[in-house]
Amino acid sequence: MTEERTYKVELLTRVEGEGRFVLRTVGDQVVDARLSIFEAPRFFEAFLRGRAIDEVPDIVARICGICPIAYQMSAVAALESALGHTAPSAIRDLRRLMYCGEWIESHALHVFLLHAPDFLGYPSAVEMAVDHRELVERGLSIKKAGNRIIELLGGRAIHPVSVRVGGFSQVPTRRGLRALRPELEAGLAQNEQAMAWAASPPCPPLEHA
């Protein structure tokens, strides 16, 4: 009789949210493989009931410390649509820049602090830093550049507070924006090195049945 087995990993870390993986085999054949990424209920819909419009962006920013901008911008876009308001192009450009800051810091976190330890065989980035300090420092430096953009536009890097329906409660000065240039230029060079490194770990060949 061909043996059937089911393998379950009930909790996967190093993913946004939580993860679960189930693999079922019959003999030496994989017959089912399922990866689930899920979030536990956070009840933010209930938190928002009865709140003033201006409170919403600050509340939804607390959904995640890594990607608060995604929740803020989604909430602001929904509220502005409901009010029939179209933000001016300058506001949309600043929001886009703020989003870019989140993408930079979030991707750096995933590549260097979550994924790299798995590829290199370390329990965490802390242990990895013992043998690959330069790699970890590069990741932290890139992440810092993204955080600086969010901090400048949002008032702080974690759970920013300046996003508002219709615009911002404050906007950066030209001097403040120009001050970002050296750090972003350095981050671009580091990112090119990071891309070269990310393409270097060996990956098993992909085979289709």
Number of domains in the chain: 2
Instruction: Answer yes or no: do 33 and 118 share one domain.
Output: no
CATH code, 84: 1.10.645.10
Instruction: Answer yes or no: do 166 and 126 share one domain.
Output: yes
For residue 74, being part of any structural domain is answered with: yes
**pLDDT digit string, tens, across residues 102-125:** 999 999 998 898 889 988 889 999
What is the structure's pLDDT at 115?
Answer: 85
SS3 55: helix
Burial of 147 (0-12, 13-18, 19+ CB in 10 A): buried
Instruction: Answer yes or no: do 142 and 50 share one domain.
Output: yes
Statement: residue 209 has pLDDT above 60: no
For residue 207, being part of any structural domain is answered with: no
What is the structure's pLDDT at 206?
Answer: 67
The C-alpha atoms of residue 24 and residue 8 are separated, in whole angstroms, by 9
Distance of CA 93 to the CA centre of its chain: 20
The C-alpha atoms of residue 15 and residue 38 are separated, in whole angstroms, by 10
| Domain assignment of residue 13, given as a range | 4-38
Q: Which amino acid type is present at position 29?
A: Q
Statement: residue 204 has pLDDT above 70: no
Give the pLDDT mean for 21-43. 88
Statement: residue 200 has pLDDT above 70: yes
Q: What is the pTM of this model?
A: 0.80
